[in-house]
Amino acid sequence: MQKLLKDESLVASWRNFFEENCKSDIETVAGGYPEKRSLVVDYDLIDKIEPKLAEMLLVQPYKGLHNAKEALKQIDTASENKLDLHFRIKNLPENQKIIIRKIRASHMGKLVAIEGLVKKTTEVRPKLLVAAFQCQKCGAVIRIEQDEDILKEPTECYEDQSGCGRVSSFKLSTVHSEFIDSQKLEVQENPEGLRGGAQPERISVYLEDDLVGEITPGDRVVVNGVLHSMPRRRGTFRLTSFDKAMQAVSIENQQFAFEEVEISPEDEKQILKMSKDPEIYEKIRMSIAPTIYGMEIEKDALALQLFGGIMKEMPDGTHTRGDIHAIFVGDPGTAKSQLLSYMSKLAPRSVYVSGKSSSAAGLTAAAVRDEFGEGQWTLEAGALVLADMGIACVDEIDKMDDSDRSALHQAMEQQEISVAKAGINATLKSRCALLAAANPKLGRFDEFLPIHEQINMPPALLSRFDLIFSILDKPNRKKDTELAAHILLSHKAGEMHENISKSPDSVFSSDEESVLMAHVKPVFEPQILRKYVAYAKRSVFPVMTDDALEILKSYYVEFRSSTEGSVPFTPRQLEAFVRLAEASARIRLSQTVTIDDAKRSISIIEQYLRRVGMDRETGKFDIDIIATGISHSQQDRMRLIIDIIKQLCQESTDGNAARPDIVGEAEIKGVESSKVEEALDRLKRNGQIYEPAHGKYKITEY
């Protein structure tokens, strides 16, 4: 096939082009040969100088590339190696960029660029390029080029390869064969390009030689390559419908955040103007899910999460997270899912999934042996990897798989997910904010039970969230009236919109419609808000002022000392304060974190702690409730009961502590009997004590 492609005059033109424009690049590659073996050229350059050659690359890519590669072989370099370089083109013109779902038959065989998110990668495997077969009759070695999936064997011992010409049996000799590294990727459309709720379409991409091993799932890439159709097979039969696939010519990895959000100079002007608005915080809050009534604090928190704190690289190579993790736990029907899905559409680079996802990768990542890998191991990215640099919105997180639950710890704090299985050993990045929602196991949220018991999530995981909001649905006449009015009015507005736009003789006027719509219109349209967020995250990195630092420090210290006997905050909460304050500064596009930002972050955290972190007995904040599920006062009590049991065991004749005696002793020390029962229950459940006979207790010895 390749012999047919060769065209001497084309080779000459390419040689000319390379001699005049790429000489120094070729020398650089030659200097690093054979580790470096690709000459990468910008399409623009070729188009400017040799538009005909450029044009040919697009419409007859194999012919163009093959002759260019031949020309490269003829270029003299300072290196004594005989070079066999790949010719790779990057930066194809905009009109060659095709959205994956728009790929049609007419694109087959053309050089195009697709943009997307890498969902899966297989392990790197050697692939036969030229197979060498040894004739079992005369011993001659017959070489056959392999350009298909299925191994092509010689039908006879070819005389033109100095064989004996007989029909023979052959043995594949791997030593004399030529192999090339190969890898397969699955690239899916960027979530930004999807119309609400549509499933992203995917395409398989084949990589060879020095392109392999560079891409991990979760990467955002532009793949330049030739579109192919691959015959589908049912068993051993070939079908007439084909699958689409791409043979990569080059890959551009998008290194910078939010390249996909384009911000024009006019946008920038508008963004700067918005940032000067003294009511920017209220306006952004009012732009988040305006159809949802109330939930001001939650929306304030979501606004901060949208912008996020600053990720810091430390000199020792570690990094601290800037992303703000938040979780909503609460009664059914309180618009949790609604809020999450709104956020996933608003935030750049976000992904919306349900905890009980259908893909093997789930929330984190998985190495699986699936159909895609054709027998090889495939590494597949889950939601937190796909949302890298954005927000992962995970609804019903309480229903996630156990494997995700353990991987989530690392994913949330280190923002990495390690997968080591079979031939795959990878660390994927999950630098995203997690926005989760959970429904209580028992249907309704119980304010008096620790959260982790209600949502089937271990306390250690729960304490990794910067913000935990409980959402209760309690009847309240005033609030109910307003909520009902809001919901009904927004429905009415929607009805009127439908009526005016769909019925030819509508009796309603568009003025009436806009009056109603004003209730549910965001102050900032999602398009501009999304640009605002991308702009802020891309270019605003505020630094804390000494005043702000002082406020956070004294708040932390004061709070810890004022609530003696309970543990209100740990250093983890202090970090949450910092992130929220940074996000608050970012909203104003401010270069500094000021006192106001520090105060805003304190107020939001206080709000959430008031709801979920309060020790009901003492009325004090207690982070232990979240971290361990037991308040500090409960812990003290459990310790006391253990001491009492120990004492009683020593004193008694049978070596056990009887329940009435325990209760009696505890009451003397000021603990009510109901609390004693509760503590006994807990201790027994924890395995710290056991009950050898009914009503008799003993300490478990380790």
Residues 120 to 149: which contact Mg ion by CB under 5 A? none
**Which residues 317-356 are close enough to bind ligand ADP by CB under 6 A?**
332-338
How far apart, in whole angstroms, are the C-alpha atoms of residue 589 and residue 540? 6
Cα dist. 49→14, 16, 18 in Å?
A: 11, 11, 11
The smaller minimum CB distance to ligand ADP, of residues 14 and 293, is found at: 293
The least CB distance from residue 326 to ligand ADP, in Å, is 15
Site for ligand ADP in 582-611 (CB under 6 A): none
* Residue 334 C-beta: closest distance to ligand ADP, Å: 4
Q: Is residue 297 within the footprint of ligand ADP (CB under 6 A)? A: no
Binds 294, which of Mg ion, ligand ADP, none (CB < 5 to 8 A, cut-off by type)?
Answer: ligand ADP
**Pick from Mg ion, ligand ADP, none: which does 334 bind, CB < 5 to 8 A by kind?**
ligand ADP
CB of 485 to ligand ADP, least distance (A): 10
CB of 435 to ligand ADP, least distance (A): 13
What distance, in Å, lies between the first and last C-alpha atoms of the chain?
75
Which tokens belong to 576?
């949450």
Pick the closer one to ligand ADP by CB: 139 or 332: 332
With binding defined as CB under 5 A, does residue 563 bind Mg ion? Answer: no
Minimum distance of ligand ADP from residue 629's CB (angstroms): 23
CB 295 to ligand ADP: min, Å: 6
Write out the binding residues for ligand ADP, residues 171-210 only, by CB under 6 A. Answer: none
**Nearest approach, Cβ of 335 to ligand ADP (angstroms)?**
3
Beta bridge partners, 438, equal: 329
**Residues near 340 by beta carbon (within 8 Å), at least 6 away in sequence:** 328, 352, 393, 394, 395, 435, 437
Mapped to the 3 state alphabet, what secondary structure does 178-233 carry? EEEEEEEEEEECCHHHCCCCCCCCEEEEEEEHHHCCCCCCCCEEEEEEEEEEEEEE
- The Cα angle at residue 92 between residues 348 and 46, in degrees rounded to 5: 150
Residue placing its CB nearer to Mg ion in the complex, 233 or 356? 356
Indicate the length of the chain as a whole number.
Answer: 702
- Work out whether 354 is an interface residue with Mg ion (CB under 5 A): no
293 binding ligand ADP? (CB under 6 A): yes
Q: Which sign does the torsion angle of CA 540, 545, 551, 554 carry?
A: positive
**Contacts (CB under 5 A) with Mg ion, residues 285-344:** 337
- Separation between Cα atoms, residue 663 and residue 640, nearest integer Å: 12
C-beta separation of 439 from 399 below 8 A: no
292 sits near ligand ADP (criterion: CB under 6 A): yes
- Nearest distance in Å: CB 296, Mg ion: 20
Interacting span for ligand ADP (CB under 6 A) from 81-89, 127-135, 421-429, 481-489? 481-489
Q: Which is nearer to Mg ion, 122 or 337 (CB)?
A: 337
Nearer to ligand ADP, 332 or 458 (CB): 332
483 binds ligand ADP (CB under 6 A): yes
SS (H, E, C) 533-581: HHHHHHHCCCEECHHHHHHHHHHHHHHHHHCCCCCCCCHHHHHHHHHHH
* Number of residues counted as binding Mg ion (CB under 5 A): 1
Q: Which is nearer to Mg ion, 377 or 469 (CB)?
A: 469
Among the listed residues 619, 623, 612, 300, the one whose alpha carbon sits nearest the alpha carbon of residue 472 = 612
Residue 384 CA, distance from chain mean position:
3
590 with 542: CB under 8 angstroms? Answer: yes
Residue 213 interacting partner from ligand ADP, Mg ion, none (CB closer than 5 to 8 Å by kind): none
What are 377's strand-pairing partners?
369
Smallest gap, in angstroms, from Cβ of residue 63 to ligand ADP? 56
Answer positive or negative: Cα dihedral of 79, 80, 81, 85.
Answer: positive
Contact 499, 505 (CB under 8 A): no
Between 338 and 403, whose beta carbon lies closer to ligand ADP?
338
CB of 487 to ligand ADP, least distance (A): 5
Give the DSSP H/E element, type plus range, for residue 420. Answer: strand 416-421
Spatial distance between the Cα atoms of 286 and 486, rounded to a whole number of angstroms: 14
- The Cα–Cα gap between 398 and 437 comes to 8
Instruction: Find the shortest distance in angstroms from Cβ 583 to ligand ADP.
Output: 24
Residue 161 interacts, among Mg ion, ligand ADP, none and using kind-specific CB cut-offs from 5 to 8 Å, with none
Dist. CA 479–CA 280, nearest whole Å: 26
- Answer with the entry of Mg ion, ligand ADP, none that 335 interacts with (C-beta below 5 to 8 A by kind): ligand ADP
Q: Which does 338 bind (CB under 5 to 8 A by kind): Mg ion, ligand ADP, none?
A: ligand ADP
Residue 182 site contact among ligand ADP, Mg ion, none (CB < 5 to 8 Å, cut-off depends on kind) = none
| Cα-based angle 106, 110, 112 (whole degrees, multiple of 5) | 105
Per the listing, tokens 């191991």 go with: 377
**Closest distance between Mg ion and the C-beta of residue 337, in Å?**
3
Q: Residue 690 in 3-state DSSP?
A: strand
Minimum distance from residue 402 beta carbon to ligand ADP (Å) = 23
| C-alpha closest to that of 509 among 518, 521, 500 | 500
Span from 223-231, 256-264, 292-300, 635-643 in contact with ligand ADP (CB under 6 A): 292-300
CB-nearer residue toward ligand ADP: 124 or 483: 483
Pick the closer one to Mg ion by CB: 400 or 679.
400
> Which residue, 186 or 298, has its beta carbon nearer to ligand ADP?
298
Nearer to ligand ADP, 293 or 532 (CB): 293
Closer residue to ligand ADP (CB): 487 or 649: 487
Q: Identify the CA nearest to 340 among candidates 457, 433, 474.
A: 433
Residue nearest to Mg ion (CB): 337
Backbone angles phi, psi at 416, to 5 degrees: -140, 155
Rounded CA gap, 300 and 606, in Å?
13
Contact residues toward Mg ion (CB under 5 A) are 337
Contact residues toward ligand ADP (CB under 6 A) are 291-294, 332-338, 483, 486-487
